[in-house]
Structure 1
Amino acid sequence: MKSIVLASALAAGILVGTANSRPLINQRALVTEVVFVTETIENVVVYVDKKGAPYLTTTEAKTTSAHSVVVSTTSVTAQPTTVPSPAPQVASSPAAPVQPVASASSAMPSFEFAPSVSVNKNKAPAVASAPPYVAPSPSVHKAKPTTTTPPPSPTEKPASSPPAPAPQQFSSSPAPAPEQPGPPPPSATSDVPAKKADDSGVLPMGITYDPFKGSAQTSDCKSEAEFASDFEKMKDYKAVRLYGQGCNQIPWAVKAAVKQNQKLMAGVYMSNKGGGEDLGQVIRAWKSAIDRYGSGNWNIVALFSVENERVNDHDMTASDVVDAIKRARDQLRAAGYNGPVGAVETVPATVENPSICDASDVAMVNCHAFFDSDVIAENAGKFVRSEIDRVKQACNNKRVVVTESGWPHQGDPNGKAFPNPENQRLALESIRAEFSNDMFLHNAFDATWKSDFSASFNAERYWGIIQ
C-alpha cells in the first residue's frame, strides 16, 4: 500500500512539473479564462533493508500549485509560449479566483466610402420642391453628350396626396433595428453580403407599379379593392416593383401578390432634401405585412432597394447610399430577409460610382432608350442591352437587374424618339426580344396624377402599358 502511495505521489509531482514547463503551442479561437489550482500532496520517504524489505515510512505535507492559461491569437502561425509558474499558495487558502484575460479585438474593419462623383449632366436637375413621395419616372442613360433637352427628374407628388413619413436623417450611427428578437447572425454583417440562394438566379419579366390615382389637382390613393383589381390585370407579370410605403401599398401589395403568385421588388424612397421615408419604418412595415399575409415567408420579396436615382439627381452622395445599403442589409437580415439588397441608379451614375456596385448584392439600374435622341423605337432593346453591358463591365460582371425600361405612348418627340402607341408597341417588343428576365417594364398604368413639363417631353403621365 505504501508503495502505491509513493508511486501516486511521484506521478502527481511529474504532472505538476509538466504543467509548469511544457510550451503551449496549440492556437485557440477565443480567450476563455485563467484557472489556478492549489493542491496538497504528501512527500513520502520509504526506508528499506538490505533485502529491499520496507521497514519505515515517513510523510511530509507539501502544498504545490499549478495554473493553465487558454490564449487566443490572430496570427496565422501559433507562437510557442511558456507558462510562468505562479507564487505558491497557502494550503488552507481557497483556490484563486478566475481572472479575465483581454482578447484580441473582434471588431470588423472600418470602411472607406468612395467620394461622390459627379453624375450624368444630361439628366435634368431635380425639382426644386422635394416631394413627399416620388413614383418612378424615366431618366437618361445616354453615355455620350447630346444637344437635346435634358430628360426629366422625378416629378413632385401633388400637395393633396397623403403625407409621407418624416425624412430620414443620415449619419454614421445605425438606424433603429426592426422590432423582432435577436440580432442578425455574424455571417450577415453589413460589410460582407451573405451568400444567398437566389443571388445568382433570375427574375421573370416584371412591371413597375405606383399606388396613386386621379389628376395632378385631385390626386388620391387607390383603395384595397383597386389594388386587388390592378394586380389581377398584372398577373401575367410575375414580378412587381414598388417604390416605397405610400398609400398603405405594402400590406395590400403583399396580400394581392400572394393571391396572384407574384414576386415583389421592395423599395424605400430616401431623400436628403426632405420628404423621404424612414428606412427602419419601411422594413418594419414589410415584416408586418409578410407576417400577416405571407405566413412570415420573405421569399415573396425578390429584391430590396434603398433609393431610386437619388445620386443621379444630386440628392444623396454615393457614400450616403453605401451606408444606407449596409444598414438596410443588417436590419433585413435580422427581420428574416436574406435576398439581394442594393440601390437603383441610372447607368451613368452606376458606372461613375463603383462603390455603389461594390456595396450592392446585385446592380440595379433604370434605363430608357426614349431619352436618347438617336434611338428609334425598334432599336430600344439593343440600346438597353448595350447599356447593361457597360454596367456589367463597371460592376465586375455582377448580376444586373433592369428596374425600369419602357417607352411613352404620348408626348413630344425627342429627336428620332417619337412617343405614340405604335412606337410603344415596337419598343416593348424590341426590349422583350433582348430580355426575358431580370427586367421590369415601366409602367403598369398611366400616372395621371403626375404633372407634365417640357424636360420630360410632356410624356411623364403616359408610360402605362396596360390600358
Structure 2
Amino acid sequence: MKGIIYLGAAVALLRSVAAFLPTNHDDYDDQDQVILQPAKGLNKAASTVAESTEHIEAAIPAQRFASNSPRPHDTPSQNPGQSPSTHDTTLHPSQPQKSNFTIGSASSQWAIAYTPYTSTLSCLSASSIRSDVATIARKGFTSIRLYSIDCSALRHVGHAARTHGLKLIIGIPIDDGLADAETQLSELIAWAGTPADNQWSLIELIVVGNEAIFNTHATAPALATFITTSRATLRAAGYAGPVTTTEPLSILAQHRGTLCPALDLAAATIQPFFHPSVPASAAGAYVRSELARLAAVCPGLPAVCLETGWPSRGRPNGAAVPGYLEQWMAVAGVMAEGAGGRSVVLGFGDEGWRDEGEFGVEGSWGCGHVFGE
C-alpha cells in the first residue's frame, strides 16, 4: 500500500503479536525472519504511537546538543593532530548563513538509504537495482539516498529513479583525504552535466562527506573549504540545488561557526538506538526533538536528518533494544511524530557485509519491509 506504513507500530498491535515471537533477540537469523501481515486501521495506529511517546519525551535528558554515541564502525581513530571534540568557532566566510532551498516531503515519508551491494559487498546487477528501485517507489518514498556513486550507481539507480519519478540524494564520501572525493565529484559532473543528457534535475541534494569530521577523515576548516569549492564547481557544471554535509549533531554544534556558513542545509545523523536511555517507543519523539535542536545550530537553514532507523537484530544498548517489533515501533514513531518528511530512513535492506560492531547491529538496519509490499 503506497505511502502507508506496514506496521506492528501501534502499541496495541505489537502487544497482541508479541506472544507469538521469540523473546530472545538472538533467536533470529537471516533465514528465520518474522513477517507480519498488514494491519488495518494504520492511521489510528500511528496516532496511538504518537500519543504513547508524549510522556516518554519528557524523560529524555534535556541537553542543548545531545551527543550521538559512536556507531561501532564509526568510532574515531586516534589521531594526535585532530580531535573531534575541539570547539571550533572560526567563521568560514564562504557563504551567508541563509538558504532559500526547500527539501523533504510534505507527507510523513521522504527518503530511504540504498546501497547497491550484495551481502558479500559485490555490486548488484542492473536488473536487481531496477527491481529494488521499483519497490522503493511502490512503498511511497520520493527520494533515494546513495552514500557514494560506486557500482555504477549513477547509471543504474539514476535510470530507474527517473523511470519511477524518484529523486536522488547523492553522497560524495571523504574516507581518506580529498583525492577520491574529487574523483567522485568529477564522475558525478561527467554523468549529470552532459548537455545531451542533462541529469541535474534528478538530483535533490548533494552530500559532501558522511561524518568525515567524526571519523577524523577531515578537519572542520578543510571540510568547509571543500564544500565551498565543490559547490562552485557544481554550479559551473549546471547544478543549482543544495549542497551540504552530515555529521552527528554534537559534531555540527561544536563546529557550527565553521560549517554552517558553508552549508545550504543543516543535516545530521540522528540514531536513537545509540542513546541507551531511549527505547524504541521514544524514537520518534527523540528524532523530532533533535531536528528542532539541529535547526537551532544553524539558524536560517532548513534542518534534515540524513540517517535514522532502528536495528532488527543484535544486543541491547540499555533501554534501546533491537528487534523486529522494536524496529517497527521506532520507525512508525518517526513517521507519527511528523519527522518522517524530513528524515532519510536507514535503509532499504540489511547489509550483511558490515562488521557487526559492539552491539551486533551494524548489518541489521534494513527496514524496507516496514513500509508494505
Relative distance call for 1:286 and 1:142 in structure 2 (3 A) is farther
Change (3 A) 1:142 1:269: farther
Q: Is 2:247 the partner of 1:345?
A: yes
Are 1:390 and 2:310 counterparts? Answer: no
Match of 2:217 in 1: 315
Pair 1:451-2:355 in alignment: yes
| Gap change, CA 1:336 and 1:144, over 3 Å in 2 | closer
TM superposition shift of 1:297 = 4.0
Q: Are residues 1:256 and 2:160 paired? A: yes
Local SS of the residue matching 1:220: coil
**Cα drift, residue 363 of structure 1:** 0.7
Q: Find the aligned partners of 1:284 and 1:253 in 2 and give their Cα distance.
A: 18
CA-based RMSD of the aligned residues comes to 2.9
Correspondences of 1:12-411 after superposition (within 5 Å): 151-154=71-74, 191-192=94-95, 199-203=101-105, 205-215=110-120, 219-235=121-137, 236-271=140-175, 273=176, 278-290=180-192, 295-354=197-256, 355-411=258-314
Partner of 1:430: 333
1:240 is displaced (CA, Å) by 0.5
Contact 2:315 2:360 in 1 (8 A): yes
TM-superposed CA distance for 1:287, in Å, is: 3.1
Aligned-residue sequence identity (percent) comes to: 28
Once residues 103 and 294 of structure 2 are traced to their aligned partners in structure 1, the CA distance between those partners, rounded to angstroms, is 18
Q: 1:144 to 1:390 in 2, by over 3 A?
A: closer
- Alpha-carbon deviations, 1:66-103, whole Å to 9, x = none? xxxxxxxxxxxxxxxxxxxxxxxxxxxxxxxxxxxxxx
Structure 1 gaps of 5+ residues are 1-140, 156-189
1:391/1:400 contact within 8 Å kept: yes
Post-superposition shift, 1:143?
5.5
TM-score when normalising by structure 1: 0.56
Partners in 2 of 1:445 and 1:311 — Cα distance? 27
Displacement of 1:238 in angstroms is 0.8
Is 1:442 aligned to 2:346, yes or no? yes
From the two aligned structures, give the one with the greater helix fraction.
Answer: 2
Q: Quick check: which has more Rg, 1 or 2?
A: 1
Counterpart contact for 1:405–1:440, Cα < 8 Å: yes
Query: RCO (CA 8 Å, sep 6+): is it higher in 1 or 2?
Result: 2
Normalised by the length of structure 2, the TM-score is 0.70
Name the structure where strand makes up a greater proportion of residues. Answer: 1
Q: Distance in 2 between matches of 1:449 and 1:293?
A: 38
Shift of 1:462: 0.3
CA distance in 1 between partners of 2:315 and 2:179 (Å): 33
Task: State how far apart, in whole Å, the 2-side matches of 1:301 and 1:149 are.
Answer: 31
CA separation of 1:381 and 1:327: change in aligned 2, threshold 3 A: same
User: Counterpart of 2:154 in 1: which secondary structure?
Assistant: helix
CA distance in structure 2 between the aligned counterparts of 1:405 and 1:145, rounded to whole angstroms: 17
